Structure 1
Amino acid sequence: MTITESTSSGTEGEVRWTHCPSCESMIYLRRLWRHGNVCPECSHHLRLTISDRFAMLLDADSYQPFDTELTARDVLSFSDTRPYEERLAKARENTGAAEAVRWGLGRIQGDPLVVAGLDFAFLGGSIGGVTGELLARAARTAHDQGTPLLLITASGGARMQEGVVALAQLAKTSQEIGRLREAGVLVLNLNTDPTYGGATASFATLGDVVLAEPGARIGFAGKNVIQQTIRTELPPNFQTAEFLERNGMCDLVVPREELRSTLARLLASHRNDPESDEPVPSGGIVTDPERLPNREPAEVVAAARDIGRPTTLDYCGLVFDEFVELHGDRLGADDPAVIGGVAKLAGRPVVVLGHQKGHTTTELIERDFGMPQPSGYHKARRMMDHAQRHGMPLVTFVDTPGAYPGVEAEREGQGTAIAEAILRMSRLSVPTVVLVTGEGGSGGALALGVGNRMLMLERTYFSVISPEGCSTILFGSAEHAATAAESLRITAPDLVRLGVMDGVVAEPPGGAQADHVGTASNVRAALLETLRELAEYTPDELLEQRRARIAAIGEPRTQPGV
């Protein structure tokens, strides 16, 4: 996209103006530059050179470039309307760069990283043999140094003038991202307008976290190609960053002025800081069932369902020092009934995952009353994988009446999605702490509830089925829900006696709904105490402790005299 420049009267040296390609407003160029090349009238994000992006994102004077002279060559002796060599020479002249990729070392708010960016001004940011090699060298450096990698993309895809040599770069770059995953090195993608073809089919979508600028066009096949092929009307905002975020393929759409701070938060959230000396009161977790108040089960169920209770997002804001929510299951959806992200707790990076309800009828409906679809469990597994890959403890907040019951959920494999989440959480070699904050309904809760430590708040419950469901099945109606709740033994004292729960976290007088801050303070103390205890275990010991803990529940006992 080019910016058409003009002057107020055509006289050389007078104030220069430009048209916004989106809203057609006339913009004073200096004003546009002050806004980071974002239209101040409609917020349209105009393109930046990769040099300008580095200058905007990286700490001043921190960028150290590498391989600035490495350039493409015409391996196929290719020619269309012009010889490929001529096109390369023109691209070098126009951009002052030897290739579409520039890479090097830099810092963002002091945190070191390897950064590589594609410049659309160089042959549309297309990927040729040298392009792929430069990206691979950036990834190899990140791997060898154990330093996060930031990939900034604006590309039309594989470079046709290099044929299958260009195509092979998708495999070359993908395998380097794979090595970074295996090594637990953080990879961040920033996709800008446009990002298409071979870029989206490889390095541009494989990061741990995928960011995009507002309005950026991102896809595999181009919109015109799709329309001509299938001859149908495409959805509004098709292949935009917002479209991808809505459909689970992008974590965050971030305005340009917030990119640097967002990247800084993500880097900080994966960095181990010296653990704070925050005092943690001992004995905050009650493990003796005889010390727990005995409440009527029906009363506990009603309290657990109170929409005034803190939600997972409330705890994320009140318990942790920093939280960045991530979105999407990378399969086609972003279930709002499950939220997850990265956080800091007393200097330690953690992954946070939980069911999300809401405090109003509108919020509850938007989030399906905290009942996840299969995509919610796929997103949960993605967060579990993130914790495992980066050696981060996993904290889950359980509050759901159960998995979403519906035709689409069954068609999309609800049972399998739950089973895979349970299996994945059971085999993590990082510390896992589960806290039931409201309802713990059946397999929908257990999918986020397989921990080294299982905790619950006082006025919560955990059950194989809702009391109403149990009553309906056994008595023919929901009238006997209170009796069913009593019989199911779903409250804190009984669950600790059964070995299902390890301990109980106190709620302030009046319950969690009456004092969010006080409840969050108790939760923070409980998490700090538990994570500090689990930090003494090796990965193998964590796996074995969790396995043994689960295996012991319901273990057959030999009867006396038998």
Structure 2
Amino acid sequence: MAEQATAEPDWVRCERCAALVYGKRYARTLRVCPECGAHGRLTARQRLDQLLDPGSCRPLAAERGERPAQHDPLGFTDTRPYAERLSEARARTGMDEAVVCVRGAVGGQPVVAAAMDFRFLGGSLGLGVGSQITRAARCSLRQRVPLLLVTASGGARMQEGALSLMQMARTAQALAELDEAGVLVVSLVTDPTYGGVAASYATLADVILAEPGARMGFAGPRVIEQTTGRRLPEGFQTAEFLLAHGLVDDVVPRAELRPTLARLLRLRSGADAARGEDAPAAERPRPATVPRGPAVRVVRTADELPERDPWDAVRLARHPMRPTAADYAAHLLRDFQELHGDRLAADCPAVIGGPGLLDGRPIMLIGHHKGGPEAEERRRRRHGMATPAGHRKAARLMRTAAKLGMPVVTLIDTPGADPGPEAECGGQALAIAESLRLMARLPVPVVAVITGEGGSGGALALAVADRVLVTESGVYSVISPEGCAAILWKDPAAAPAAAAALRLHARDLLRLGIVDGVIPEPPDGAHKDHALAAALVGGAVSAALDELRPRAPDRLLAERRDRFHRFGRLEEEAAP
């Protein structure tokens, strides 16, 4: 059944600001109010036309042996028979169900897309929607093509009873199979997305994007207020609220969705990019070609490095003008897409991360962000001190990288983990411990670079890697010199003496085997030339990845284990 075309009226009144907008102008702005930015609802076909490359959209064929979903499995009647409601929805929308599933391309990258339509019984999740989402996931799995889910739903379809409830488990299982196969899943949350859809496939994606103002939750705000008797905060369950609470990766205006999706799809792994012989030329991925960074001579022996005053090294490592993780991402990566949130409670600003192309190859970059020279921004970024949410965000991105076969690169520059009472109540110690365990078993290459200050467990939480490098002015220690001086010297002023005793600068770190190499910096330090500093780091990381990429996962894990087990081995051998 073909979806009925919906002609735009001559004038449209914005539901948010009540402004009158000329219909043709409203269509040109993709149904976004030019006065207040409110995003109007789109039909499933409008959504696909907006997101997919022109001419690339093809409907999914029914699978062999697939049975159509029952129209009215319960013979349900409320004020009207359910069968009548279904017939009316089909006649009004021209759709068979509340979702349209197709194959297509975004920016030349192949994709399987499932777009929901709220006009069809409120986009409710029933047998028909569950069947089509599952079919789309199976097509994605069979073709090893990323799956794009565009959600708009009021929840499960009550007229189908517990059978509709089972669709949550059914679709979650389908996405679990894509996880096991390493196929990228992207979810686009549109307004509204509630109930069973929010509690299944909408939130199980690797990347969750949301349109501005889109609302998502398990229970609707009216139900929550009636049940709890509490007034909800302003903006509750909106995309912006969800972003601040770590539940979505980004809020993307409608006009920017296609290029954002194209960037993400270009980052899928080589395994995901493998296409069947039936793939049309327009859908085959285009290989990225980017000039490689400069060849960098990483120092491997301590004697090649000059002696230096440890306290001077500490002060240089802390220089507020040193490049941040965001600076490195901007200089080194193409198509970097920052992802946000721990999908649990918060988005820690002290840790940033996301996928990007380094020398044309996908990596997952994760790093501490101190905030640069501005005092206010440094405070907002917590001076690079990660909260438990920061460690959980990093862990989530690492798991995504492992699923997609994507190397992980971490940039470490932190005084240590957040020492505040909120962090302790949030399980700081457990968050660090789980990060250490996760990194120890990641089946992809991991390269860590200490780009400034490597402080205590907060630094180590991103440094359980196959190769650990440090920039020439970087430092790495179990505790800050000031903390060590206060505890052991009983005098914080003894920090310079503590810095010398801790052997925390690059030369000693290399001699002790803590790091595998030292990356040179621009003359007088990385803060003098961000572009050159980034090029040197990028060259060293690329060389390390070139060395590690051919290794099978079992070898990576064994060598990573041995790398860290060797610390203390001399003491073990000397024991009686």
Asked if Structure 1 and Structure 2 have the same fold, meaning a TM-score greater than 0.5 normalized by the shorter chain, the answer is: yes
Secondary structure in 1 aligned to 2:161? helix
User: 1: CA distance between counterparts of 2:251 and 2:490?
Assistant: 50
Amino acid at match of 2:380: E
Measured in 2, the distance between the counterparts of 1:246 and 1:192 equals 17
Match of 2:359 among 346, 349, 355: 346
d(CA) in 2 for partners of 1:285 and 1:199? 50
CA contact (8 A) 1:59 1:106 kept: yes
1:421 is matched with 435
User: Using a 3 Å threshold, how does the CA distance of structure 1 residues 295 and 5 change in structure 2: closer, same or farther?
Assistant: same
Identity value in percent = 50
Secondary structure of the 1:462 match is strand
Question: Are the aligned partners of 1:70 and 1:98 in contact in 2 as well (CA < 8 Å)?
Answer: no
Describe the superposition over 1:99-154 as per-residue Cα deviations: whole angstroms up to 9, x where unpaired.
11110211011111111111101000001111101100100111111110000010
Cα distance in 2 for residues equivalent to 1:41 and 1:275: 39
1:302 counterpart = 2:315: yes
> In the alignment, which residue of structure 1 is the partner of 2:39?
45
Matches within 5 A, 1:64-79: 64-66=58-60, 72-79=70-77
Normalising to structure 1: TM-score of the pair?
Answer: 0.95
| C-alpha displacement of 1:531 | 0.6
Structure with greater contact order relative to length (CA < 8 Å, sep ≥ 6): 2
The aligned amino acid for 2:366 is L
The yes-or-no answer on 1:363 pairing with 2:377 is: yes
Over 3 Å counting, the alpha-carbon distance change for 1:452 and 1:275 in structure 2 is farther
In structure 1, the residue corresponding to 2:396 is in which secondary structure?
A: helix
Residue of 285, 305, 326 corresponding to 1:313 = 326
2-structure distance, mates of 1:561, 1:55: 71
- Partner of 1:23 in structure 2? 17
Distance 1:343 1:283, change over 3 A: closer
Cα distance in structure 2, aligned partners of 1:20 and 1:145: 41
Per-residue CA deviations over 1:355-378 (Å, capped at 9, x if unaligned) read 111121011110111111111111
Cα distance in 2, alignment partners of residues 409 and 295 from structure 1: 36
Q: For 1:138-287, list aligned pairs within 5 A.
A: 138-272=136-270, 278=291, 284-287=297-300
2:81 is the alignment partner of 1:83 = yes
- The equivalent of 1:482 in structure 2 is 496
Between the aligned partners of 2:25 and 2:383, the Cα distance in structure 1 is 46
Question: How far apart are the structure 1 equivalents of 2:290 and 2:231?
Answer: 59
Aligned partners of 1:5 and 1:18 also within 8 Å: no
**Residues 239, 281 of structure 1: alpha-carbon distance in 2 compared, 3 angstrom cutoff:** closer
Which one is further off, 281-290 or 490-499?
Answer: 281-290
Q: Which residue of 1 aligns with 2:275?
A: none
On the 8 A contact 2:188/2:210 being kept in 1, the answer is: yes
Out of 452, 455, 460, the residue aligned to residue 441 of structure 1 is 455
CA deviations on 1:504-530 (whole Å, 9 max, x unpaired) are 000111100011011111111111111
Question: Quick one: structure 1 residues 70 and 93, their matched pair in 2 at CA, closer, same or farther if it must change by over 3 Å?
Answer: farther
Deviation at 1:556, TM superposition (A): 2.1
1:541 aligns with 2:544: no
**Which residue matches 1:459?**
473
RMSD: 1.9
Do residues 60 (structure 1) and 73 (structure 2) align? Answer: no
| Equivalent residue number for residue 469 of structure 1 | 483
Find the aligned partners of 2:148 and 2:572 in 1 and give their Cα distance: 59
1:519 equivalent to 2:533? Answer yes
| Aligned residue type for 1:130 | G
Is 1:389 equivalent to 2:403 in the alignment?
A: yes
* CA distance 1:475–1:560, change in 2 (3 Å): closer
| Letter of the structure 2 residue corresponding to residue 497 of structure 1 | R
Letter in 2 for 1:333: A
Contact 2:370-2:383 at 8 Å conserved across structures: yes
State the 1:319 CA deviation: 1.3
Partner-residue secondary structure (3-state), 2:337? strand
Residue 322 (structure 1) aligns with: 335
What TM-score does the superposition give when structure 2 sets the normalisation length?
0.93
Once the two structures are superposed, the pairs formed by residues 369-380 of structure 1 within 5 Å of their partners are: 369-380=383-394
Whole-angstrom distance in 2 between the partners of 1:309 and 1:226: 47
Aligned equivalents of 2:504, 2:169: Cα separation in 1: 52
1:418-449 deviations in Å (ceiling 9; x for gaps): 00001101111110000001110000100001
2:468–2:517 CA contact under 8 A, matched in 1: yes
* Contact 1:72-1:99 at 8 Å conserved across structures: no
Letter of the 1:52 partner, please give it: Q
Q: Which 4+ residue blocks in structure 1 deviate beyond 6 angstroms?
A: 558-562
Secondary structure of 1:235's match?
coil
Q: In 2, Cα distance between the equivalents of 1:254 and 1:498?
A: 47
Q: In 2, Cα distance between the equivalents of 1:420 and 1:225?
A: 36
Change (3 A) 1:559 1:418: closer
Q: Secondary structure at the match of 1:18?
A: strand
1:498, 1:553 within 8 Å by CA — same for their partners in 2? Answer: no
Mapped partners of 2:129, 2:572: distance in 1: 68
CA distance in 2, matches of 1:265, 1:413: 35
Mapped partners of 2:366, 2:503: distance in 1: 26
Structure 1 CA distance for aligned equivalents of residues 369 and 377 of structure 2: 9
> Structure 1, unaligned stretches of length 5 or more?
7-14
Structure 2 Cα separation of the partners of residues 514 and 254 of structure 1 = 34
Q: 1-side partners of 2:342 and 2:212: how far apart? A: 20
| Structure 2 partner of 1:12 | none
Pick from 20, 26, 35: which aligns with 1:32?
Answer: 26
1:291-312 alpha-carbon deviations (Å, 9 max, x no partner): 1122100000000111100000
The verdict on how the C-alpha distance between 1:167 and 1:400 changes in structure 2, with shifts beyond 3 A counting, is same
- Correspondent of 1:498 among 483, 502, 512: 512
Deviation at 1:408, TM superposition (A): 1.4
Cα separation, 2, equivalents of 1:506 and 1:36? 50
Give the Cα–Cα distance (whole angstroms) in 2 for the partners of residues 146 and 561 of structure 1.
53
Q: Secondary structure at the match of 1:433?
A: strand
Gaps of 5+ in 2: 1-5, 271-285
Give the Å deviation of 1:536.
2.3
Measure the CA separation in 2 of the matches of 1:439 and 1:494: 15
